[in-house]
Amino acid sequence: MRRSWFKRSGICLLLACTFIINGCEVVQDPKLLMSVPKLPEEQANLMSIINAQLPEGAEKVRPNNSSDGSAVRMADLDGDGKAEAIVFYEVPDSEVRLHGMILKSDGKEWTKVADFEGGGVSLDYVETVDLTRDNRLDLLVGYGSQDQDSLNKGMVVYSFVNNRIEKIFEQPYSQIVINDLDGDSKKELYIVSQHKGKPPVLSQYQYIDQKLTKTAEIQMDVQVNLVYNMVSGLISKDKRGLVLDTVTGSNYYMSVALLCEDGQFYEAFPKEKTIRSQSYPSTDVNNDGIIEFVKNETPQGWDIFREYEIPYFLDYYQWDGKEKLTLVQKQYRDYADRFHFAIPTSWYGRVSIDTKSDRDEYLRFIDYQTNETLAEVKFFSVENWERYKNKWTYLAAYGDEVIGILSKEQLKLNDGSLKLPELEHEGEQQEKKSTK
């Protein structure tokens, strides 16, 4: 009998909140980006000042795009060589829900020098980057819309000069990236905006004549309903561009690779080559600095099954800069993203999954030409795992189960596996039984 993963409780990951914050990776001059004060007394002083400045009932908030546990971002916004502290906070019952504050230090104490009203009901995106090309960092903030039916959020670009925060640009967006794709050592802003009943629009903005100016634009084809992911960088060994992962038609997805030259966007290669039935994002899967395009592959023998039952392989392709897409990695990725691993190249052209497999209990990877077992994935209770852990390799933990793998070849397994749940003491187990 199948056991639905929806019924399992997830593992709570306790992440230690570090106070040392690194800034945006797109800033090349280290003088433009500063770290949080490292001395404990400086940290304590800053946090006490921040907390004292918060209105009653207010709470500090982190943006959705934050990868760390701190609500404090440090960056040199005014170009004086000293980092300012940037904090956003929420006042739930206020007419203006989101606010931001900026604090400066004289070397001894921190002082709030600016407070500004935000927009929307949630903090989606915060970044610091020199868009205005004046060797000072600008503050980019994305606010979630108050209109729940809206397809877009709101992007605001702020400049901080003479202890004053100034709004210099506003634009609706659903996806955003910042990069130097034309090689002039200056950043461009790329924004996708969605429009009801119309295909999405991609726009490029550059700072020209003292303002952020739209310098290129393209509307997606009529079959594109939504852009759900956008990345930028090298899309071949020698070409820089954008990759937009899109929802196309009904239940189909494809990636659109775009180059931009002389104010014009154009497709790098036919997007039809990337059509797939699953919404996986394009990414640099093999860490070679080049973005790969992903397609899902139905294992041999699974064609007769319903789509939601199929344990797909993921094939990551790299563009050669001309006409060819080359397979650089094949993966099995669990449908609930509980684990994944790379398929050895020696299995290419012969690996499949036994059709008797159950994605929530047991998977047998086979050579479909000989029916030889290549690998097995099995879900164990925590107690049973203790019996088998010396034979099986730990793959992941999920809810009250441990997922193990047994393979003839050494596999490149997923990074950052969930923590193995601790075994209950015998007394705790007995207590639970007695209360049932």
269 and 291 in contact (C-beta within 8 Å)? Answer: no
> Which tops the pLDDT comparison, 99 or 109?
99
How far is 299 from 311, CA to CA, in rounded Å?
7
78 and 166 in contact (C-beta within 8 Å)? Answer: no
Q: What pLDDT digit, counting tens, does each position of 146-182 carry?
A: 776 788 999 999 999 999 999 999 999 999 999 999 8
Exposure b/e, 251-276, CB count within 10 A at least 16 = b: eebbbbbbbbeeeebeebbebebbeb
Query: Contacts for 238-244 with beta carbons within 8 Å, 24 or more apart?
Result: 238/321, 239/268, 239/319, 239/321, 240/179, 240/181, 240/183, 241/181, 241/268, 242/177, 242/181, 242/190, 242/202, 243/282, 243/291, 243/293, 244/175, 244/192, 244/202, 244/220
Q: Say yes or no to pLDDT of 261 above 80.
A: yes
Of 419, 276, 299, which is closest to residue 359 (Cα–Cα)? 299
- In this predicted structure, what is the pLDDT of residue 182? 87
- Look up residue 381 and give its two tokens: 């209770």
> CA-CA distances (angstroms) from residue 409 to 154, 347, 392?
49, 10, 13
- Look up residue 414 and give its two tokens: 């997923």
Could you give the percent of the chain with pLDDT greater than 90?
Answer: 71
Q: How would residue 431 be classed by pLDDT, with cut points 50, 70 and 90?
A: very low
Query: Contacts for 68-72 with beta carbons within 8 Å, 24 or more apart?
Result: 68/17, 68/18, 68/21, 69/15, 69/16, 69/17, 69/18, 70/17, 70/18, 70/19, 70/21, 70/36, 72/19, 72/21, 72/36, 72/46, 72/47
Exposure b/e, 167-204, CB count within 10 A at least 16 = b: ebbebbbbbbbbbebbeeeebbbbbbbbeeeebbbbbb
Of 158, 204, 150, 197, which is closest to residue 174 (Cα–Cα)? 150
Q: What pLDDT digit, counting tens, does each position of 50-78 carry?
A: 999 999 999 999 998 877 778 899 999 99
Per-residue H/E/C for 282-330: CECCCCCCECEEEEEECCCCCCCCCHHHCCCEEEEEEECCCCCEEEEEE
- In this predicted structure, what is the pLDDT of residue 37? 53
Q: Say yes or no to pLDDT of 243 above 70.
A: yes
Q: What pLDDT digit, counting tens, does each position of 397-410 carry?
A: 988 999 999 998 98
274 and 255 in contact (C-beta within 8 Å)? Answer: yes
Q: How would residue 251 be classed by pLDDT, with cut points 50, 70 and 90?
A: confident
Phi and psi dihedrals of 186, rounded to 5?
Answer: -125, 140
283, 267, 217, 153 alpha-carbon torsion, rounded to 10° = -30
Q: What is the pTM of this model?
A: 0.82
- In this predicted structure, what is the pLDDT of residue 2? 40
Q: Say yes or no to pLDDT of 6 above 80.
A: no
Q: What pLDDT digit, counting tens, does each position of 371-395 carry?
A: 999 999 999 999 999 999 999 999 9
How far is 236 from 434, CA to CA, in rounded Å?
63
- In this predicted structure, what is the pLDDT of residue 415? 56
Of 225, 223, 224, 261, which is closest to residue 242 (Cα–Cα)? 261
> Residue 435: what residue type?
T
